[in-house]
Amino acid sequence: METEARILLVDDEEAILHMVKTVLSKEGFSNIDTCTRANQALRFIEERTYDLLILDVMLPDKSGFELCAAVRQRTQAPIFFLSAKGTDFDKLSGFAYGADDYITKPFHPLEVVARVKAHLRRTFGAAAPAAAVQEEKRYVFDRFTVNVDAAELLVEGNQVDCPAQVFQLLVFFCQNPNRVFTKEQIYDHVWKDEYGLFDENTVMVHVHKLRQRIEDNPSQPKHLVTIRGLGYKLVTSGKSS
């Protein structure tokens, strides 16, 4: 159950830590740790296993981007940035360092809750109906194979690391080959945001991450292609089993 997840909040503003922890606690989350420094966060991560982490970008001893990169070497758990640095460059930098989501300050507490629940629901597998889980097994395409039950991506026979969010996006396209989806449709299906939020940038960044894994040349994709003015589709003659 997602409310049993262990969450780590890292922010040098005690008021932010208190507010986010309080809001999450009211939603049933009880395993929440907090700290104000990057080095302290790294010690926590060495000692405990977290299901989701929320990081500030501007920390006193190390940037949140550096912390995110270090965390990614230890876990594939979802990582959020919660930061006052809200330019497109800042957001893209966050995703480049391995983040799964980026929320700018000031923020609505319920937005944080919605995004946390959405990511954890996918992590814990609560969102997929039992029948759908039983049907999802293996997708075989020209260049890559997706083993859904094992959460495994093989590209030309070699296993490729694939973060949870990127893998869920890949499975969605495998389930719907040769169909065009808008960014908003993709967000609705993959992120399953119960509050109806839509983040176009999140979709674009994760499509880019997926292309880096399945395409021979990500800048000239042949499988996950852009349909100008419409969206994206997975072009393949592959089959599923």
Give the model confidence (pLDDT) of 85-111 as tens digits. 888 888 888 888 888 899 888 888 888
Residues 146-151, mean pLDDT to the nearest whole number: 86
**Contact between residue 100 and residue 33 where contact means Cβ atoms under 8 Å apart:** no
For every residue of 134-170, DSSP letters joined together read HH--EEE-SSEEEETTTTEEEETTEEE---HHHHHHH
Identity of the highest mean pLDDT range in 75-79, 88-92, 129-133, 204-208: 204-208
Task: Could you please state the CATH topology (level 3) that the domain comprising 130-240 is classified under.
Answer: Arc Repressor Mutant, subunit A (1.10.10)
DSSP 8-state assignment for residue 3: G
Torsion 203-205-208-213 (CA) sign: negative
- The pLDDT > 70 percentage for the chain reads 90
Task: List where CATH 1.10.10.10 sits in the chain.
Answer: 130-240
Q: What residues contact 169, with CB distance under 8 A and at least 6 apart?
A: 186, 190, 206, 207, 210
pTM: 0.56
Residue 31: pLDDT over 80? yes
The DSSP bridge pattern shows strands 6-10 and 52-55 to be: parallel
Q: How far is it, in rounded angstroms, from Cα 149 to Cα 167?
A: 12
pLDDT digits (tens, 9 = 90+) for 2-13: 788 999 999 999
pLDDT at 80: 92
Q: How far is it, in rounded angstroms, from Cα 128 to Cα 108?
A: 27
- E strand or H helix at 240: strand 239-240
pLDDT at 128: 44
pLDDT digits (tens, 9 = 90+) for 116-146: 888 888 777 644 444 444 444 788 888 899 9
Please list, residue by residue across 194-213, b when 16 or more beta carbons sit within 10 angstroms of its beta carbon and e when fewer do. eeebebeebbbbbbbbbbeb
pLDDT digits (tens, 9 = 90+) for 41-65: 999 998 889 999 999 999 999 999 9
Say how many residues make up the chain.
241
Mean pLDDT score of the chain: 86
pLDDT tier for residue 183 given thresholds of 50, 70 and 90 = very high
Domain 2-124 - what CATH class?
alpha beta
**∠ CA 21-26-27, rounded to 5°:** 100
Q: How far is it, in rounded angstroms, from Cα 80 to Cα 119?
A: 10
Q: How far is it, in rounded angstroms, from Cα 83 to Cα 103?
A: 7
pLDDT at 125: 62
Q: What residues contact 194, with CB distance under 8 A and at least 6 apart?
A: 114, 117, 118
pLDDT at 1: 63
**Contact between residue 114 and residue 193 where contact means Cβ atoms under 8 Å apart:** yes
Task: List where CATH 3.40.50.2300 sits in the chain.
Answer: 2-124
